[in-house]
């Protein structure tokens, strides 16, 4: 019996034709009719409004509840998120929760184990069973804004995603340029940058926080997706409102959410403590080292095990002190000591493996 999902021809045609219209059509039309600064500014403005609604809205708020958002913010996410043509909040968030629950396994709808292009776009070409919204998204079923958007999703997509840029284009003197730049070209960019999170961020990069799954930290994907590329961290701590945890890491969605909090439009921003992050980083690093221990002399492997065990103990003590201490400065000092201990042990273990396996 053939259980391969049936190809959705209309959807496949849409996803194949929009790049032709968005890229080639925009280039040809602009070459013939001329270029004006408002055209790329319209595309950029639409990209930012729609992109932040996917990253900070569909993903971090609705899918993972990493913070609480006010009603006006949720309405903004619902309207502009629909313009991404990635289905309703309810469908998107439920499917994404399934991805996290079964990542890299058969029930993962866009598992990288089925190939790069499957994870990137081919999975969308096929009809799949409806996501288990009653099982994994009862909170969204109870959200009236989510239900409203589900009912009006197609209207919001067409009127907002294409009608709005066409209207702005008409006000600027060229309705077709507005439709092409702010509608089709913007849509292509939104689609494929979002798709890169499912494909490239599960294919290339460093498993810095979770070596058990395919998710990788990929700074290039972060640049393209308003901060969604630090994917190893996200799969380890999905309830954290951040993806890029360092101040220098590109994560506009994190900054947007923090700005909402400053404006009292968001609250209860959830973040992971430093000891937990360091513990996850250590566990991922050790998991990378362990497969090599089977191929080196037993005496060397034993010494490496001793080093890593000692490092784990130091970091565990640091984590305990962090939780118990009322003085944050004191806790940070012990965390630095624990972090220094395990990193030194990891470097020494890696050096011993390299010398033994040469």
Note if the pTM is more than 0.75: yes
pLDDT in tens, 92-135: 999 999 999 999 998 899 999 999 999 999 999 988 777 888 88
Residue-wise burial string across 128-137, b where 16 or more C-beta atoms lie within 10 A, e elsewhere: eeebebeebb
3-class DSSP state for residue 230? Answer: strand
Q: Which of 23-32, 207-216, 282-291 has the lowest mean pLDDT?
A: 282-291
Residue 2's pLDDT is: 42
Structural tokens at position 110? 């866009």
Alpha-carbon Rg for the chain in angstroms: 23
pLDDT in tens, 293-308: 666 666 666 776 776 6
Give the confidence band of 327 by pLDDT, cuts at 50, 70, 90.
low
The gap between the terminal CA atoms of the chain, to the nearest Å, is: 50
pLDDT in tens, 32-55: 999 999 999 999 999 999 999 999
What is the helix (H) or strand (E) element at residue 159, kind and residue range? none
With 0-12 / 13-18 / 19 or more C-beta atoms within 10 angstroms meaning exposed / middle / buried, residue 324 is: exposed
Give the confidence band of 161 by pLDDT, cuts at 50, 70, 90.
very high
Residue 174's pLDDT is: 97
Structural tokens at position 198? 């499912």
pLDDT in tens, 217-260: 999 999 999 999 999 999 999 999 999 999 899 999 999 999 99
Among 269, 227, 270, 225, smallest CA distance to 246 is for: 227
SS3 content of the chain, % helix, strand, coil (to 5): 70, 5, 25
Residue 233's pLDDT is: 96
What are the two backbone dihedrals, phi and then psi, of residue 68, each rounded to the nearest 5 degrees?
Answer: -105, 130
Q: Which long-range contacts (CB under 8 A, 24 or more apart) does 39-43 make?
A: 39/177, 39/178, 39/181, 40/181, 42/165, 42/168, 42/169, 42/172, 42/178, 42/181, 42/182, 43/181, 43/182, 43/185, 43/186, 43/189
Structural tokens at position 295? 């191929």
Residue 21's pLDDT is: 96
Residue 1's pLDDT is: 37
Residue 150's pLDDT is: 96
Higher-pLDDT residue of 26 and 349 is: 26
Structural tokens at position 44? 């950029």
pLDDT in tens, 181-228: 999 999 999 999 999 999 999 999 999 998 889 999 999 999 999 999
Alpha carbons 162 and 158: distance in angstroms, whole number = 5
Give the confidence band of 328 by pLDDT, cuts at 50, 70, 90.
low
Among 46, 8, 43, smallest CA distance to 23 is for: 43
Residue 340's pLDDT is: 66
3-class DSSP state for residue 69? Answer: strand
Contact present, 92 and 109 (Cβ < 8 Å): no
For residues 151-176, give the mean pLDDT: 97
CA separation, residue 72 to residues 49, 75, 339 (Å): 14, 5, 42
């Amino acid at each position: 019996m053939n259980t391969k999902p049936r190809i959705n021809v209309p959807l496949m045609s849409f996803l194949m034709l929009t790049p032709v219209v968005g890229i080639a059509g925009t280039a040809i039309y602009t070459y013939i009719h001329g270029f004006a600064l408002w055209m790329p500014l319209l595309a950029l403005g639409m990209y930012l409004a729609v992109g932040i609604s996917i990253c900070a809205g569909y993903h971090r708020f609705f899918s993972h509840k990493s913070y609480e958002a006010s009603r006006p913010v949720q309405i903004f996410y619902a309207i502009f998120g629909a313009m991404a043509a990635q289905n309703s909040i309810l469908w998107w968030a439920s499917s994404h929760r399934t991805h996290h629950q079964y990542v890299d396994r058969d029930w993962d709808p866009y598992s990288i184990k089925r190939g790069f292009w499957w994870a990137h776009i081919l999975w969308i070409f096929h009809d799949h069973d409806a996501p288990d919204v009653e099982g994994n998204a009862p909170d969204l079923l109870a959200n009236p804004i989510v239900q409203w958007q589900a009912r009006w999703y197609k209207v919001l997509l067409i009127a907002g995603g294409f009608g709005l840029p066409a209207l702005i284009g008409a006000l600027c003197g060229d309705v077709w340029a507005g439709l092409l730049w702010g509608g089709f070209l913007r849509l292509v960019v939104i689609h494929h940058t979002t798709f890169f999170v499912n494909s490239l961020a599960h294919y290339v990069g460093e498993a810095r926080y979770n070596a058990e799954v395919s998710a990788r930290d990929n700074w290039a994907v972060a640049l393209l997706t308003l901060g969604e590329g630090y994917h190893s961290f996200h799969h380890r701590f999905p309830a954290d409102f951040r993806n890029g945890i360092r101040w220098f890491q590109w994560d506009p969605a994190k900054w947007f959410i923090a700005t909402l909090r400053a404006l009292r439009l968001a609250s209860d921003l959830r973040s992971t403590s430093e000891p937990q992050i360091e513990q996850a980083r250590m566990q991922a690093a050790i998991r990378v080292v362990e497969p090599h221990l089977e191929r080196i002399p037993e005496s060397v492997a034993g010494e490496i095990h001793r080093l890593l065990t000692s490092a784990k103990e130091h970091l565990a003590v640091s984590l305990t002190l962090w939780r118990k201490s009322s003085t944050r400065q004191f806790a940070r000092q012990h965390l630095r000591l624990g972090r220094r201990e395990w990193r030194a042990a990891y470097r020494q273990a890696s050096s011993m493996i390299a010398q033994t396996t040469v």
